[in-house]
């Protein structure tokens, strides 16, 4: 009887030792995984983008934790082949139960492989414009410029048209300008080119672009396009409109407002308008005569 009790006590000690060993493996593995995953942020290996750094960091962390978890289960005496088989069956069941999440997961993998944008890029999808702050397996997180948090499912990102505004180092600002019909177009073109030359944010290469868009209802419509570095795009677009307005004022170039002309429809002759003095009661119009008589009374 004493030998049996000693054997059970010894087995309990070994069991507790295995549990303690498994806990130590998980504890040490967690800190090792955190240390190695954070190491990628300290040393920018091969000049990786922030997007690539996040992917590598998560891959290292979860990879080490999975290995440590399997080692801990092995120390506890679990048969890993049975666990892996059960995990496979469970994953299939979960996949059928959550088809939307599975679709987002697959779309997220395609996004990470294709890399149409990275963390820190400014993108526009449908009516949402903002900075990408996170790219996860199920969704993309965006912070808009009015400081709103927007979560876009990866499936929507794959199916929708996404515009990356910060993909290339330079951008073109298209300025819509209208001038009066009486103005000299060559003179206006020279003034616009001088404004672009004086602005240090306008790039000389590519050169500014001057396009006549056509004849509008009240003006000759022009598109004047200038190039700038992407970080100066908004500042340039705000400044150059003001500079063009000042240059037009200094050179007596008219920026017209909408005009409305009335014609009788007979050989484009304007409507004849006559003014009469109703204060003396000399108007030939009966209605005007009545108004004048009332005023005199």
**Rounded to a whole number, what is the distance in angstroms from the first to the last CA of the chain?**
136
Give CA–CA dist 100/93, Å, rounded. 14
Q: Supply φ then ψ for residue 245, to 5 degrees.
A: -60, -45
- Closest to 52 (Cα-Cα) out of 133, 113, 132: 113
pLDDT for 149 beyond 90: yes
| Rg over CA atoms, the chain | 37
If one compares 97 and 180, the residue with the highest pLDDT of the two is 180
Condensed to tens digits (0 to 9), the pLDDT of residues 270-279 reads 556 666 655 5
**Which residues have a Cβ under 8 Å from the Cβ of 7 and sit 6 or more positions away?**
none
Say whether pLDDT at 280 is over 80.
no
Helices (H), 161-232: 185-198
Distance CA 64, CA 33 (A): 6
Q: Is pLDDT of 98 > 90?
A: no
Q: In Å, what is the CA distance from 184 to each residue of 179, 216, 252, 254?
A: 9, 16, 11, 11
CATH of domain 8-97: 1.10.287
Instruction: Classify domain 170-250 at the CATH topology level.
Output: Alpha-Beta Plaits (3.30.70)
Structural contact between residues 219 and 150, judged by C-beta atoms closer than 8 angstroms: no
The pLDDT confidence band at residue 141, using thresholds 50, 70 and 90, is very high
258 has a pLDDT exceeding 90:
no
**Domain locations in the chain as residue ranges:** 8-97, 114-164, 170-250
Q: Please give the CATH topology (third level) of the domain spanning 114-164.
A: SH3 type barrels. (2.30.30)
The fraction of the chain above a pLDDT of 70, given in percent, is 66
Q: What share of the chain is helix, strand, coil (3-state, %, to 5)?
A: 55, 20, 30
CA 196 to chain centre: 27
Angstrom distances, CA of residue 133 to CA of 10, 137, 151, 152, 185: 54, 14, 10, 12, 46
Distance in angstroms (rounded) separating the CA atoms of residues 219 and 181: 6
pLDDT in tens, 184-233: 999 999 999 999 999 999 998 899 999 999 998 889 999 999 999 988 99
Count Cβ neighbours within 10 Å for each residue of 235-251 and write b for 16 or more, e otherwise.
ebbeebeebbeebbeee
Does the predicted TM-score (pTM) go above 0.85?
Answer: no
Q: Is the pLDDT of residue 237 over 80?
A: yes
Residue 162: other Cβ atoms inside 10 A? 18
pLDDT of amino acid 131: 93
Q: CB of 227 within 8 A of CB of 150?
A: no
The strands making up 122-125's β-sheet, listed across from edge to edge, are 149-153, 139-144, 128-135, 122-125, 162-164
Cβ contacts of residue 49 below 8 Å, gap of 6+? 118, 119
Six-digit token pair at 254? 């008219």
């Amino acid at each position: 009887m004493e030998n049996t009790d000693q054997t059970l006590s010894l087995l309990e000690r070994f069991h507790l030792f295995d549990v303690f060993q498994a806990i130590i493996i998980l504890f040490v593995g967690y800190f090792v995984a955190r240390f190695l995953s954070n190491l990628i942020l300290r040393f920018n290996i091969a000049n990786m983008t922030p997007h690539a750094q996040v992917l590598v960091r998560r891959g290292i962390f979860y990879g080490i934790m999975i290995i440590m978890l399997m080692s801990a289960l092995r120390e506890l005496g679990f048969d890993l082949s049975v666990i892996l088989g059960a995990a496979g069956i469970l994953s299939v069941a979960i996949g059928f139960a959550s088809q939307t999440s599975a679709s987002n997961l697959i779309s997220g993998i395609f996004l990470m492989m294709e890399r149409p944008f990275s963390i820190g890029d400014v993108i526009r999808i449908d009516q949402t414009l903002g900075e990408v702050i996170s790219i996860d397996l199920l969704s993309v997180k965006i912070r808009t410029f009015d400081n709103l948090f927007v979560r876009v499912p990866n499936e929507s990102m794959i199916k929708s048209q996404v515009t990356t505004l910060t993909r290339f180092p330079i951008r073109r600002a298209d300025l819509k300008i209208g001038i009066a019909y009486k103005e000299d177009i060559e003179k206006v073109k020279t003034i616009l080119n001088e404004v672009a030359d004086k602005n240090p944010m306008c790039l000389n290469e590519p050169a500014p672009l001057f396009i006549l868009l056509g004849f509008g209802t009240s003006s000759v419509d022009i598109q004047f396009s200038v190039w700038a570095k992407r970080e100066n795009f908004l500042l340039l677009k705000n400044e150059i409109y003001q500079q063009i307005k000042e240059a037009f004022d200094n050179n007596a170039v008219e920026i017209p407002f909408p005009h409305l002309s009335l014609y009788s429809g007979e050989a484009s002759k304007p409507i004849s308008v006559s003014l009469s003095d109703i204060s003396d009661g000399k108007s030939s119009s009966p209605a005007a005569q009545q108004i004048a008589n009332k005023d005199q009374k």
